[in-house]
Amino acid sequence: MKNIILTLLLSGFVSNLWAQNKITFTIQANKPTATVASTMWGLFFEDINLGADGGLYAELVKNRSFEFDTPLMGWKINSAKDVMYGFYFGSDIQLINQPDKAATNPRFIRVALHKTKKGELSLTNEGFRGMGIKKNLRYEFSVFYRQQTATAMLHAELITEKGDIIGSAVLAPEQTDNRWHKVEMSLTALATEPKANLRLWFEGSGIVDLDMISLFPTDTWKGRKGGLRADLVQMLADMKPGFVRFPGGCIVEGRDLAQRYQWKKTIGPLEERKLIINRWNNEVKTRPVPDYFQSFGLGFLEYFQLCEDIGAEPLPILNCGMACQVNTAELIPLESLDPYVQDALDLIEFANGDGSTPWGKLRADLGHPAPFQLKMLGVGNENFGLPYVERFKRFQQAIQRQYPSVKLVGSTGLLSSGEMFETTNADLRKLKVDIVDEHNYSAPQWFLQNAGRYDHYDRSSTTKVFVGEYAAQSVGMTNPTNKNNWRTALAEAAYMTGLERNADIVQMASYAPLLAHVDGWQWKPDLIWFDNLGVMATPNYYVQQLFGANKGNQVVPMLDKNKLPVTGQDSLYASATLDKAASELIVKVVNAGGKAQSIEANIDGLRKLPLTAKVIMLQNNDLEAENSFTSPAIIAPIESIVNVQNKRLKVDLKGYSFVVMRIKL
Ligand code: AHR
């Protein structure tokens, strides 16, 4: 094939500092080495940092069913009487607990009214660090009630931090058959308020029982009732993820097995989804979150739906019969593991079975007759060692027998090096596991040094790699002063060129954690930060987004001195892919050094000369630079179209830059 040399004058980002040395690469666009899996870049989702409750799940009422360990947490009773030292000692609002009648949702409140007037007795919910309320938006209030006389009235009010009323509606429960009924009404907000509360005044006479007190915005993702925050889902969709791994993370394991994630308890009517404590409630001692529970309003059906909506493959991770090995490390004996394995088999049937199967029918009854086409399943999160491998084997045997086409993801533990990793990895590979899950939370330097990690993996192995959790830690793992700065994002970009170059081995990768509420986080750094009204993309987010949106489907060599991959020579890191459908060559280059550099590349195998190239650049001279809610675009993609002149690809890279180039073939 003819060797054609091109020059691109990338004037949009030409640096004033023309570098001394010129570095020449070869891109063998005519010699694809690997297919880039459609799943290559994806999302890791866990309910950490108020990621689900208080985040993606748009419910605004915290502890809506009074099932937190402290049953009135998040609620405040306001009464004109019966208050001493700020505490309510009255009996007009009682908390009833009836586990014999409703095992999954035993508590509710009983309100006794005695010609009560509005202004005398109310209950206020504080939301998740307040409620984000938007002017002119309609909100749906709903409640389950039970009564024998229709003499009570409920006044729902949205109130600002200062106490001003910015929305109200009145409800008169009608049914008097002493059974539970759900009733709904709308409130339209008169003003925007980031930290509103919901207040319920009671009026009238008689006794009314209340449960599942709920408030949702109507601007949810796809306008779904009781759905997800549209702004957050849009951020996820914009990453063009190939998969979503859910529901975690450590919450899969639980501190103990009682607290493990059990998917079957997260589907069906909301009021029957049994709430449990979130492991992140008390996991990080310096960041306790006593009000962090899992309502499972975002449950497995919703996760599958989310994947379908954003075109990502679902990758559920299930408990393998082991609690977190850095907590209790509880084990289910092998002879008692069957229910856990059955959960996995049932999940596959729930996702893929037709209406003639019990679990497939349930999915259809829940509103999704079409199968979700589940292709992958993870067994265990960050589990390792012989007990794990023994349990994994049981799952593998059962799943392969019944669902041979479902690929299994096995865990290699918490770290991607060291004895535990080596032995677990080797043992899983002996079992010919389809995919091993590696986790990396290390210093930015580690990511730079490991850009070539997968260049050296055994290519004869049938086991593929899922880099299931990674993020550069600016200070140290779990350090609360970690930052999402440009240093970390640039190092991740460099590392990702190595993942992409080795797409024959690395078939999936996801940054972690994904979401964090500014007022409710436990773990830093995180990809996307949000508050009650808005969202902020980190530089790390833009790196992920650029890889996701510019994936390509075939890897082509980009070589230094015609033989070496670009893994840090002159502080440069690079990879190249072809997008067959768009007929484009996609080149990604990271300049991890502070000096501008000039690179040239010969592109082998072009049939005609491209006239233009699209260039997308992330850059900042300051590695400590970060985005913020007030300055969200300190580091953000800058696009330009540049003319291609002459016959050489010539790129002037600014210091500390990441550049994606799309060249029409
Ligand atoms: O991403 C945060 C946590 O890091 C995950 O829950 C866990 O899998 C890992 O240790």
Q: Which atom of ligand 1 is nearest to the CA of 248?
A: 6
- Can you give the pLDDT at residue 507? 98
Which residue has its alpha carbon closest to ligand 1 atom 7? Answer: 249
Q: How far is the CA of 534 from the centre of ligand 1 (A)?
A: 25
| Mean pLDDT, rounded, of the chain | 94
Strand pairing class (243-246; 313-318): parallel
CA atoms within 13 A on the CB side of 274: 14
Question: Average pLDDT in the 451-477 region?
Answer: 97
The alpha carbon of 236 and the centre of ligand 1 are apart by a number of angstroms equal to 19
330 is an active site residue: no
Query: With DSSP H G I counted as helix, E B as strand and the rest as coil, what are the percentages for the chain, rounded to 5?
Result: 20, 35, 45
User: So what's the pLDDT on residue 2?
Assistant: 36
Q: Which of 244, 279, 274 is nearest to 262 (CA)?
A: 274
Non-local CB neighbours of 113 within 8 Å, separated by 6+ positions: 92, 121, 151, 152, 202, 203, 204, 205, 206, 207, 208
Model confidence band, residue 1 (pLDDT cutoffs 50, 70, 90): very low
Mutational pocket test of ligand 1: of 421, 441, 470, 510, the residue with most ligand atoms within 8 Å of the beta carbon: 441
Q: Whose CA is nearest to atom 1 of ligand 1?
A: 513
Pocket-testing residue among 412, 523, 524, 540, ligand 1, by greatest number of atoms within 8 A of Cβ: 523
**Tokens 């003499």 -> residue:** 151
What residues have CB less than 8 Å from 654, skipping those under 6 apart?
A: 13, 15, 591, 596, 617, 619, 621
Q: Please write the tens of the pLDDT for every residue from 145-160.
A: 999 999 999 999 999 9
Residue burial 94-118, b: 16+ Cβ < 10 Å; e: rest: eeeeeeeebeebbbbbebbbeebee
- Atom index in ligand 1 nearest the CA of residue 251 equals 6
Instruction: Write down the pLDDT at residue 645.
Output: 62
pLDDT at site 17:
35
* 311-329 per-position pLDDT tens digit: 999 999 999 999 999 999 9
How confident is the model over 44-57, as a mean pLDDT? 98
For 356-403, how does the pLDDT look when each residue is reduced to its tens digit (9 = 90+)? 999 999 999 999 999 999 999 999 999 999 999 999 999 999 999 999
Query: Has this prediction a pTM greater than 0.75?
Result: yes
- The pLDDT score that the predictor gives to residue 168 is 98
User: What's the pLDDT band for 646 if we cut at 50, 70, 90?
Assistant: low
Contacts of 342 (CB under 8 A, 6+ apart): none
Tell how far the Cα of 585 is from the centroid of ligand 1, in angstroms: 35
In this structure, which residue's CA is closest to atom 5 in ligand 1? 249
pLDDT at 3: 36
What is the distance between the alpha carbons of residues 392 and 615, in angstroms, rounded to a whole number? 45
Query: Exposed (0-12), middle (13-18) or buried (19+): which is 387, by Cβ within 10 Å?
Result: middle
483-496: average pLDDT: 98
CA angle 399, 400, 405 (to 5 degrees): 100
Per-residue pLDDT of 542-585, as tens digits, reads 999 999 999 999 999 999 988 899 999 999 999 999 999 999 99
Atom of ligand 1 nearest to the CA of 44: 1
Question: How far out from the chain centre does Cα 437 lie?
Answer: 17
Confidence bin at 15 (pLDDT 50/70/90): very low
pLDDT in tens, 580-601: 999 999 999 999 999 999 988 8
pLDDT, tens digit, 9 for 90 and up, residues 219-277: 999 999 999 999 999 999 999 999 999 999 999 999 999 999 999 999 999 999 999 99
Q: How confident is the model at residue 523 (pLDDT cuts 50, 70, 90)?
A: very high
Cβ within 8 Å of residue 71, ≥6 positions away: 63, 95, 97, 107
Angle at 168 between CA 166 and CA 170, to 5 degrees: 175
* Comparison of pLDDT for 650 and 421, the residue scoring more: 421
* 99 Cα: distance to centroid of ligand 1 (angstroms): 33
Q: Whose CA is nearest to atom 6 of ligand 1?
A: 249
Both tokens of 191, joined, read: 């003003």
Q: State the pLDDT at residue 195.
A: 98
Task: Name which of 129, 125, 112, 179 is nearest 156 in CA terms.
Answer: 125
With pLDDT > 90 as the criterion, what percentage of the chain qualifies? 89
Distance (Å) from CA 250 to ligand 1 centroid: 5
CA distance 371 to 365: 12
Residue located via tokens 């794990």: 388
Catalytic residue among 283, 302, 313, 382: 382
pLDDT at 7: 35
Distance from residue 249's CA to the centre of ligand 1 (Å): 5
Which sign does the torsion angle of CA 333, 334, 336, 337 carry? Answer: positive
Residue 506 has pLDDT above 60, yes or no: yes
Q: How far is the CA of 126 from the centre of ligand 1 (A)?
A: 28
Pocket test for ligand 1, best of 49, 245, 250 (most atoms within 8 A of CB): 250
Is 445 strand, coil or helix? helix
Best of 43, 245, 253, 439 for a ligand 1 pocket test (most atoms within 8 Å of beta carbon)? 439
- Band of residue 19 on the pLDDT scale cut at 50, 70, 90: very low
Q: 24 pLDDT band (50/70/90 cuts)?
A: confident
pLDDT of residue 606: 75
| Nearest protein CA to atom 4 of ligand 1, as residue | 249
**What is the number of H-type helices and E-type strands within the chain?**
10, 38
Residue 165 CB neighbour total at 10 angstroms: 12
N- to C-terminal Cα distance for the chain? Answer: 15
Ligand 1 pocket, Cβ-based, cut-off 6 angstroms: 46, 48, 248-250, 381-382, 414, 469, 512-513, 523
Q: pLDDT class for 641, splitting at 50, 70, 90?
A: confident
**What span, in angstroms and rounded, lies between the C-alpha atoms of 471 and 454?**
17
Residue bearing the CA closest to ligand 1, atom 2: 513
Instruction: Report whether pLDDT(527) > 60.
Output: yes
For residue 474, give every residue at least 6 positions away whose Cβ sits within 8 Å of its Cβ, in sequence order, or none.
444, 481, 482, 483, 485, 487, 488, 525
